[in-house]
């Protein structure tokens, strides 16, 4: 059973629409992350957060925003969807601390298609 | 130059083969190293992690870090078709205050 949930699983939307991808985790993790991954390609870090009201931009953060009002919830918003946003979006979380706690738990992803 | 380099493959091996997957890294301050496995259309899952140099074994999987050469390896013994996936290496500083740095991933196919 997944401890980190992403909705929707698949989304097809028209150009120019505003969309929010949801991510929730039940593990009480302080750290959460959003990645973009095209099929068969590498992970690109979009945004991350190390706690409530804390957000940071990753390598690929343009055109999207995040918020962290609650520990368990880390939504990603695209203000105006474009075909170039077509990709898979992966959410992850991790505990603070050392060692194995550095490991991320990933969600199953949202596959976004902008037409 | 990316901080963690990984040959994307693809790599195709027969069932039962020993597989060696490798990464190199450039920042000597990395202290924790991880391997993730990603099945098609799924999120990555943590497979193994190691601290600093040395080996770690878990069943058919062995993770190895050589800090002197900045080399990370994952060995899979008696490979199975169920091992078909993309394998990503990752590294992080001991403070853990920055995100993991991932390699690009190596696509592995194990043929029955």
| Interface contact flag, B43 A98, Cβ < 8 Å | no
B6-34 average pLDDT score: 94
pLDDT at A63: 87
Q: Please name which of B106, B67, B76 lies closest in space to residue A42, comparing C-alpha atoms.
A: B106
Is any Cβ of chain A less than 8 angstroms from the Cβ of B30? no
A4-24 average pLDDT score: 97
pLDDT in tens, A65-93: 999 999 999 999 999 999 999 999 999 99
Mean pLDDT over each residue of chain A, to the nearest integer? 91
Q: Above 80 in pLDDT, residue B86?
A: yes
Range name among A30-44, A79-93, B35-49, B92-106 with the lowest pLDDT average: B92-106
User: According to the 3-state scheme, what is the secondary structure of chain A?
Assistant: CCCEEEECCEEEECCCCCEEEEEEECCCCCEEEEEEECCCCCCEEEEEEEECCEEEECCCCCCEEECCCECCECCEEECCCCHHHCEEEEEEEECCCCHHHHCCEECCCEEEEEC
Instruction: Nearest by CB to A42, from B45, B51, B104: name it.
Output: B104
Torsion angle, alpha carbons of A78, A5, A113, A69, to 10: 0
Q: Above 70 in pLDDT, residue A2?
A: no
Is any Cβ of chain B less than 8 angstroms from the Cβ of A71? no
What DSSP letter does each residue of B67-107 carry, written as one string?
TTTTEEEEEESS--GGG-EEEEEEEEETT--S--EE---EE
B25-34 average pLDDT score: 92
Residue B39: both structure tokens together: 């099945």
B75-80 average pLDDT score: 98
Contacting residues of B for A44, CB less than 8 Å apart: none
pLDDT at A98: 57
Is any Cβ of chain A less than 8 angstroms from the Cβ of B35? no
Distance CA B103, CA B3 (A): 8
């Amino acid at each position: 059973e997944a401890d980190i949930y992403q909705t929707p699983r698949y989304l097809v939307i028209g150009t120019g629409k505003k969309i929010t991808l949801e991510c929730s985790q039940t593990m009480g993790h302080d750290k959460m992350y959003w990645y973009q991954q095209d099929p068969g390609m590498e992970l690109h870090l979009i945004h991350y957060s190390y706690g409530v009201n804390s957000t940071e931009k990753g390598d690929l953060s343009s055109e999207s925003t995040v918020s962290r009002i609650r520990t368990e919830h880390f939504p990603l918003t695209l203000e105006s969807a474009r075909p170039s946003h077509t990709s898979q979006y992966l959410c992850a979380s991790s505990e603070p601390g050392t060692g194995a706690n550095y490991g991320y738990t990933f969600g199953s992803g949202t596959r976004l298609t902008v037409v | 130059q990316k901080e963690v380099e990984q040959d994307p493959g693809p790599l195709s091996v027969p069932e039962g083969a020993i597989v060696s997957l490798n990464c190199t890294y450039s920042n000597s301050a990395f202290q924790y190293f991880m391997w993730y496995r990603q099945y098609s259309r799924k999120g990555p899952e943590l497979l193994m992690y190691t601290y600093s140099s040395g080996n770690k074994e878990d069943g058919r999987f062995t993770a190895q870090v050589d800090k002197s050469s900045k080399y990370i390896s994952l060995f899979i013994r008696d490979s199975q078709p169920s091992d078909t996936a993309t394998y990503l290496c990752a590294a992080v500083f001991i403070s853990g205050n920055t995100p993991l740095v991932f390699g690009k991933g190596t696509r592995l196919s194990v043929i029955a």
